[in-house]
Chain A
């Protein structure tokens, strides 16, 4: 196995072994896709954490998340848009939490798309806060259909990057940037 001898995050490794080793730091080891995305947001750590921790607000910047119902402090129900006007759903549990620093989650056993991950918040001095999302997901096999598989094999990396950018826009500017000219256009693009 490759040795860790530098500071690059394992999510960026060219080596399959390194990525697998990183995967094993999560609860489930059989899952085969890992991605990490980092963004720096020019706001205090506590503020960002608080916004994120209120899961019902996540759809304001997560474009493909239709709705998050908060069922208890650690359990939430996710409804996520899938191609063809369909949705996929799962319950997620907060598996670990450090106030102001980190939230880890995992979907429950019956999830359409099993997934887990964590969101971390670190101070970045006068640059604000470094926010890192690490997501592990298990692309669904056969039954649920190619559409969803396609969406979850191709899209999450792009989606995570865009969602983090929108989170940054919302936190830094109070709004999510749009280049639409009219409301009709904006709704069309969101659809």
Chain B
């Protein structure tokens, strides 16, 4: 099959590799119909994530058609499914509590050592995101092997396009969980740092959860414009002082809840002593912690901090004093996609949440390297690239 493979910094290629096979009873093989490039894929592209190996297949936002099933799978050939980026078994203690992203068993035993050393307990498995999270082949390919296929994938009802449901795989549930973690109360003012896909979905979700006002912060005009489309007020941090603007816009109180949705994966997914390569980028990590620091300082006393942005390392200059003295609450974590998928699918069916607005480019899998380059070079215009194996036109802009 054809697949987008990683070979090093700014070096991704479409290669021909062996097709995936059913290896465990609960596996299924999915023929990919749509797969997106995630902002966090750019951090692999930029070479910041340790434990990548040449030839690794990328992609953790994908959907497609079931073409083969193991005896323990509940899927049926021909079904269209969206696959969560987190690999969860559904039967461990954490899955029982719907903490799917904390699944004990999704990550192969040998791969769990690194997480144990870095974080005290091993992380769960993820598709296409380094060997720290399992080393699973991702979905930017023609086919993918999906473990625990009886737990993760959700079957798409008739009449819905790929573009409407694809983002159930990661960014929509992630934005929703971000808003849920902010414990929004009716009438709240919620501030969101970062108008990438997660931030934009957090804006929509916050309104659905009863926020009276949402203030979105970014510096890309195109992305701020999208936030405004969903009713958010905006602050361009290149033009205004964020803290001062927030205080003025909230009557001197500060936002009731703050959400840090700035993509820090690249710069935080490591601990300072893992790889030399990582040390080089640690400066960036320290720099980018700016958003969570600012969010904590801006948040009102007794307010709530939600942090969907991925941090991985050890940071300094964390405003612990402000955090304590103001009595804030922090919630964070990788997304328990499986928990949110059914409800969010309903929200899409009922027209409460729009997802297609995000897609700026659709292209063929063969053009994936070009998609990475475009996304990397122009984050203002390129909000989301969706790859479609077999798609014949190239680089078709949505609007």
Task: Give residues in A with beta carbon < 8 Å to B.
Answer: 40, 42, 127-128, 158, 161-163, 165-166, 168-169, 172-184, 186
Contacts and interface: CB of A to CB of B under 8 A. Distances in A.
B92 A42 contact: yes
Given A162-B110, A165-B112, A179-B111, 6 more contacts: A42-B91, A173-B105, A173-B148, A176-B108, A178-B23, A178-B24
Given A162-B110, A168-B104, A182-B21, A177 B26 contact: no
Contacts of A176: 24, 108-109
Contact of A179 (B89, B92, B134): B134
B106 interface: yes
Contacts of A186: 23
Given A158-B113, A165-B112, A179-B111, A174 B72 contact: yes
Interface of B: 17-21, 23-26, 57, 72, 89-93, 96, 104-113, 116, 125, 134-137, 145, 147-148
Interface centre among A42, A128, A173, A175 (most CB of B within 10 A): A173
B18 A40 contact: no
A178 B87 CA distance: 11
Contacts of A168: 92, 104-105
B114 to A, nearest CB: 12
B145 A181 contact: yes
B210 to A, nearest CB: 33
A169 B18 contact: no
B109 to A, nearest CB: 4
Contacts of B18: 181-182, 184
A181 B134 CA distance: 12
* 6 A-B pairs with the lowest CB-CB distances in the bound complex, closest first: A165-B109, A175-B24, A179-B135, A179-B136, A173-B89, A162-B109
A177 B147 contact: yes
Nearest to A158: B113
Contacts of B20: 181-182
Contacts of B21: 181-183
B113 to A, nearest CB: 7
B142 to A, nearest CB: 12
